[in-house]
Amino acid sequence: MVQKTVNGRFNVVVIGVLGGFLMSFYVLKEYQLIKYTPPSPENFDENGNWKHPSFFRIRFSDRIEPLQPKPRASQLEDDSTDPKTPRS
């Protein structure tokens, strides 16, 4: 009978978490998870200075959009489907 140690279980958990993180990073690396939006004029006061919020605020969008590929990934995808490009 093999006795399971705490160190062995800890190692398995660490390897599993790291493996899951690396696999999700590999799958999602071509997508923009955080989209940059320029600041809206409502965030500035009348003098053009940034208004500091009184407390931490999170805004959720009413619309849900699918993930968009990064510009470089979409450009590579467009180049690979171009019928003018000769395939070797």
Q: Which residues contact 53 (CB under 8 A, 6 or more apart)?
A: none
Q: How many domains does the chain divide into?
A: 1
For residue 31, give its domain range: 6-80
Full-model pTM? 0.42
Asked if 69 and 32 count as a contact pair (C-beta separation under 8 A), the reply is: yes
What is residue 78's predicted lDDT score, i.e. its pLDDT? 72
Residue at 59 is within a domain: yes
Q: How many CB atoms lie within 10 A of CB 73?
A: 14
Residue at 86 is within a domain: no
34-53 per-position pLDDT tens digit: 666 777 777 787 888 877 76
Rounded Cα distance, 25 and 33, in Å = 11
Is the pLDDT at 71 greater than 70, yes or no?
yes
Residue at 25 is within a domain: yes
14-37 per-position pLDDT tens digit: 999 999 999 998 888 888 776 667
Is the pLDDT at 88 greater than 60, yes or no?
no
